[in-house]
Amino acid sequence: MRVAAGARIAAPIETVWEIASDPSRALNFMSGVTRWEVASDPPTGLGARYRMLMRIGSAEVGGLIEIVEWRPPHDFAWHSVTGLDQRGRLRLRRGAGGRTRAEFRLAYGVAGSGLSGWIAEHVAAPSVQRHLGRSLTQLGRLAEQEHRRTRAARGSAVRT
Amino acid sequence: MAQMEIAEASRRNGHVKDPPPAAERRSLVRSVLETVADQVQLRIPRADLDERDPDFIRERLPLLWLLATIWFRGEVRGLGNIPDDGPVLMVGNHSGGNMTPDTLILTLAFSAYFGVERPFYQLAHNLVLSMPWLSDLRRFGTVAASPANARRALEAGAALLVYPGGDYEVHRPSSQANRIDFDERKGFIRLALAQHVPLVPVVSIGGQETALFLTRGEGLARLLRLDRMFRLKVLPISLALPWIVNIGDMLGHVPLPAKITVEVLPPIDLEAEFGPDPDVDEVYEHVTRLMQQTLDALAEERRLPVIG
């Protein structure tokens, strides 16, 4: 099953990337995510691993994931190592007027689970979709707030 | 009168056989039951921890998830209280008759949270494991309840789930739904002490609302010697679908879609809390009191039976 959500963020791509790629801030914007722990050294970049869980229905599902693509400030993608089969991607692109277009994609499932797996994936899809949408909204708020703060700091520096 | 005389004459002539005396009938019933009991004992699989199959569990998780989410609206809190690795003894209250929805929901939650790679075993009554249609339970990590199996699982570094109340607690009447009742079974404490593993209490609510449990039928079980032959202390009677009147619950039942909530409590290090040689009775009182308090709090949250 593949779900995706998109948003336009009124902040530069670099600011959005800085927040989104920082594992210590993942729980600040990722909706439904109950755990996002660094499980590797280094904590970010290609090959970094995280133990993540997202509450969907009656269970917290997820597992160990690994970053398989890392292109600052545009893309990072991950694959599951253990747990639920998943492939996720956060895709950022420069928009007009210094804005950022953001897209969150997640493909998930359990190989070999047959009909029950197919039904479960479809039943879970609206919840996952909602979590992705909210995550982008919250990421946008954080980035826009950070951008405003930076601009204000720059403005006061010029005045002094 | 004439008929009685004719009957007596027929009996004397050997046309009609005397019915077997009561004692003979009882011994016939007993021998049949003992044969069945022997067969059941033979069917109980040797506990082989290697029968647990992580791939099988993983492939069944979506089905468990559907049942837990849609039918039981399951909610599990505090899974983070379970130590991330190493052996741990989880002690739960048991509800819902032989369908035990609390086990289903906890197995799903544990496997999704820690991954199917983490060994996780559950102790179950011998009869459960001897039923051919439940043979897949062994692949989920269910092993026959015995001290030896429990020890083996913990020595292998696994998480082990035990229900000390067992068949006694799981069939308690609905009027006692929100009561922790382990029937004074304290083996789990001796096990945790002997293996030096943390004890994690797990409290669930809602399972006893999946049918109307009328009585455990302890007297009936004694009369039929089920306790001696099958280690069954009860022969429960409930009102449940599709049987309406369900005696024994051997074939299970369709559980009502009651909301099940499970709360995992912080681990208890028995030696740290009670000293190097703790009094088992004191620990039992402590653990059951803690679980009862949690169950009372969960019961307060519920507004209506089944709906939650």
Mean predicted confidence (pLDDT) in B28-54: 73
| 8 Å CB contact of A58 and B55 | no
- In chain A the domains, ranked by start, together with CATH numbers, are 2-159 (3.30.530.20)
* Contact (Cβ atoms closer than 8 angstroms) between residue B295 and residue B183: no
Which positions 148-187 of B are in contact with A (Cβ < 8 Å)? none
Q: How confident is the model at residue B86 (pLDDT cuts 50, 70, 90)?
A: very high
Q: How confident is the model at residue A86 (pLDDT cuts 50, 70, 90)?
A: very high
Instruction: Say what the ipTM of the complex is.
Output: 0.89
Q: How confident is the model at residue B289 (pLDDT cuts 50, 70, 90)?
A: very high
Predicted local confidence at residue B214, as pLDDT: 95
Residue B121's identity, in one-letter code, is: Y
User: pTM for this one?
Assistant: 0.86
> What is the number of residues in chain A?
160
C-beta pairs of B290-296 under 8 Å, 24+ apart in sequence: B290/B201, B290/B265, B291/B91, B291/B93, B291/B180, B291/B201, B291/B203, B291/B265, B292/B179, B292/B180, B294/B201, B294/B203, B294/B263, B294/B265, B295/B93, B295/B178, B295/B179, B295/B180, B295/B203, B295/B205, B296/B178
Predicted local confidence at residue B45, as pLDDT: 59
Say yes or no to pLDDT of B222 above 70: yes
A58 vs B58, B60, B68: nearest CB: B68
Instruction: Give the minimum alpha-carbon distance from B110 to chain A in angstroms, rounded to a whole number.
Output: 9
Mean predicted confidence (pLDDT) in A74-82: 96
Say yes or no to pLDDT of B20 above 90: no
Q: What are the chain B neighbours of A60 within 8 Å (beta carbons)? A: 79, 109, 112-113
Predicted local confidence at residue B40, as pLDDT: 63
Q: Out of A42-51, B37-46, B76-85, B265-274, which region has the weakest mean confidence (pLDDT)?
A: B37-46
Q: pLDDT higher for A154 or A137? A: A137
Mean predicted confidence (pLDDT) in A18-25: 96
Residue with tokens 């000293």: B275
Q: What are the chain B neighbours of A84 within 8 Å (beta carbons)? A: 112
Say yes or no to pLDDT of B47 above 80: no
Say yes or no to pLDDT of B236 above 70: yes
Interface test with B, best of A33, A35, A58, A80 (most B CBs within 10 A): A58
A114 touches chain B (CB under 8 A): yes
A126 touches chain B (CB under 8 A): no
Say yes or no to pLDDT of B188 above 60: yes
Say yes or no to pLDDT of B122 above 50: yes
Predicted local confidence at residue B1, as pLDDT: 45
Where do the structural domains in chain B lie, given as residue ranges?
A: 53-301
Predicted local confidence at residue B44, as pLDDT: 61
B66 vs A62, A83, A119: nearest CB: A119
Q: How confident is the model at residue B13 (pLDDT cuts 50, 70, 90)?
A: low
Predicted local confidence at residue B243, as pLDDT: 93
The fold for domain B53-301 equals Glycerol-3-phosphate (1)-acyltransferase (3.40.1130)
Q: Out of A154-158, B109-113, B182-186, which region has the weakest mean confidence (pLDDT)?
A: A154-158
Q: From A117, which residue of chain B is nearest by alpha-carbon distance? A: B62
Condensed to tens digits (0 to 9), the pLDDT of residues B241-264 reads: 999 999 988 888 999 999 999 999
Q: What are the chain A neighbours of B60 within 8 Å (beta carbons)? A: 113, 116
Mean predicted confidence (pLDDT) in A91-97: 95
Predicted local confidence at residue B2, as pLDDT: 47
A64 touches chain B (CB under 8 A): yes
- Token representation of residue B191: 């096990």
**Mean pLDDT of chain B, nearest integer:** 88
- Between CA A72 and CA A69 the distance in angstroms is 10
Condensed to tens digits (0 to 9), the pLDDT of residues B90-101 reads: 999 999 998 899
CA atoms within 13 A on the CB side of B77: 11
A115 touches chain B (CB under 8 A): no
Say yes or no to pLDDT of B197 above 90: yes
B51 closest CA partner among B156, B110, B119, B139: B139
Q: What are the chain B neighbours of A113 within 8 Å (beta carbons)? A: 58-63
Mean predicted confidence (pLDDT) in B21-48: 69
Predicted local confidence at residue A62, as pLDDT: 94
Instruction: Give the minimum alpha-carbon distance from A129 to chain B in angstroms, rounded to a whole number.
Output: 17
Which positions 20-59 of A are in contact with B (Cβ < 8 Å)? 53, 57-59
Say yes or no to pLDDT of A79 above 60: yes
Q: For residue B61, what are the contacts with CB-CB under 8 A and spacing of at least 6?
A: A59, A110, A113, B108, B111, B112, B116
Mean predicted confidence (pLDDT) in B159-175: 94
Mean predicted confidence (pLDDT) in A57-61: 95
Predicted local confidence at residue B11, as pLDDT: 54
Q: Per residue in B255-291, is it b (16+ CB within 10 Å) or e — as a string? A: bbbbbbbbbbbebbebeeebeeebeeeebbebbbebb
Q: pLDDT higher for B134 or A139? A: A139
Instruction: Give the minimum alpha-carbon distance from B169 to chain A in angstroms, rounded to a whole number.
Output: 25
Predicted local confidence at residue B307, as pLDDT: 87
Mean predicted confidence (pLDDT) in B205-231: 89
Q: How confident is the model at residue A156 (pLDDT cuts 50, 70, 90)?
A: confident
